[in-house]
């Protein structure tokens, strides 16, 4: 008998159907590099490509007795790799989807009604705190935040220096921060509404 590396694909296939492990090893050695290249090119990941090849060759061994190769071993294995890649990507997609669903379920649900009432309450507290500001400070602050005027516009209208306008706005922000017990970034967001 010829050495296994000299057997044709048809002869190797026949030996594989008879559960000849050396025929299986020869097919593996003969085609591994070719189909590995195909898998790496499609997946762009060497480790995933190796996993796909393991699945292809494991499937080949499992199905050895019922194997029906229509064309060539090369074509058969190339198509098998293609389908294993599709299966592999489908599993990855399902896994990612399950993880995303799990994460979404872990996040607390936002009660929009409660959020609306909280915002309204905070707006009310903000208005009450602004009304507690000294008159000049309150006027400057409202012109800045409600009328969206620049510091120079406010200074011109009220006959103040820009530094005085800045001082009034700073004083108002500090007062509001302490009276509302919120951070400056959150306060700035509330004031821009």
The predicted model scores a pTM of 0.49
Q: Which of 106, 129, 144 is the last residue of a domain?
A: 106
Render 26-89 in DSSP notation, one character per residue: HHHHHHHHHHHHHHHHHHS-HHHHHHHHHHHHHHHHHTGGG---SS-HHHHHHHHHHHHHHHHH
Given a contact cutoff of 8 angstroms between Cβ atoms, the answer to whether 56 and 80 are in contact is yes
- The position carrying tokens 């029906």 is 68
pLDDT at 129: 86
Q: What's the maximum distance between 2 C-alpha atoms anywhere in the chain?
A: 109
If asked whether residues 12 and 100 sit together in one domain, one would say: yes
Q: Which of 56, 73, 106 is the last residue of a domain?
A: 106
If asked whether residues 8 and 101 sit together in one domain, one would say: yes
CATH number of the domain that residue 86 is part of: 1.10.1740.10
**To the nearest 5 percent, what fractions of the chain are helix, strand and coil?**
80, 0, 20
| The token pair that represents 160 in the structure block | 């103040």
If asked whether residues 75 and 133 sit together in one domain, one would say: no
| CA–CA dist 67, 18 (Å, integer) | 11
For the chain, how many structural domains are there in total? 2
If asked whether residues 35 and 100 sit together in one domain, one would say: yes
If asked whether residues 124 and 176 sit together in one domain, one would say: yes
If asked whether residues 102 and 128 sit together in one domain, one would say: no
CATH number of the domain that residue 129 is part of: 1.10.10.10
Rounded to 5°, angle at Cα 50 from 48 and 51:
65
Q: Which of 72, 106, 140 is the last residue of a domain?
A: 106
| CA–CA dist 55, 64 (Å, integer) | 14
Per-residue pLDDT of the chain (193 residues; tens, 9 = 90+): 578 788 888 888 888 888 889 988 988 998 898 988 888 888 888 888 888 889 888 988 988 888 878 788 888 888 888 888 888 778 877 887 777 777 767 656 556 777 777 778 878 888 888 888 899 989 998 898 888 889 999 999 999 998 999 998 888 888 888 877 654 445 455 555 4
If asked whether residues 91 and 142 sit together in one domain, one would say: no
| CA–CA dist 73, 37 (Å, integer) | 16
If asked whether residues 95 and 133 sit together in one domain, one would say: no
| CA–CA dist 30, 34 (Å, integer) | 8
| The token pair that represents 29 in the structure block | 């050695």
pLDDT at 71: 80
If asked whether residues 69 and 130 sit together in one domain, one would say: no
If asked whether residues 148 and 92 sit together in one domain, one would say: no
pLDDT at 106: 67
If asked whether residues 78 and 28 sit together in one domain, one would say: yes
Domain extent for 181: 112-191
| CA–CA dist 177, 193 (Å, integer) | 17
If asked whether residues 82 and 23 sit together in one domain, one would say: yes
């Amino acid at each position: 008998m010829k050495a296994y590396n000299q057997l044709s694909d048809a002869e190797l296939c026949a030996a594989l159907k008879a559960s000849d492990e050396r025929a299986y090893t020869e097919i593996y050695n003969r085609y591994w590099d070719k189909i590995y290249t195909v898998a790496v090119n499609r997946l762009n990941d060497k480790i995933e490509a190796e996993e796909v090849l393991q699945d292809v060759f494991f499937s080949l061994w499992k199905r050895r007795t019922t194997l029906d190769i229509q064309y060539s071993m090369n074509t058969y294995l190339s198509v098998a790799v293609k389908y294993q890649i599709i299966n592999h990507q489908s599993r990855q997609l399902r896994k990612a989807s399950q993880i995303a669903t799990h994460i979404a379920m872990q996040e607390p649900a936002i009660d929009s009604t409660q959020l609306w009432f909280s915002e309204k309450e905070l707006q009310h507290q903000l208005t009450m705190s602004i009304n507690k500001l000294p008159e000049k400070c309150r006027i400057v602050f409202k012109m800045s935040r409600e009328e969206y005027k620049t510091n120079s516009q406010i200074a011109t209208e009220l006959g103040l220096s820009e530094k005085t306008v800045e001082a009034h706005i700073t004083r108002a922000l500090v007062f509001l921060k302490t009276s509302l017990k919120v951070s400056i970034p959150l306060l700035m967001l509330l004031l821009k509404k």
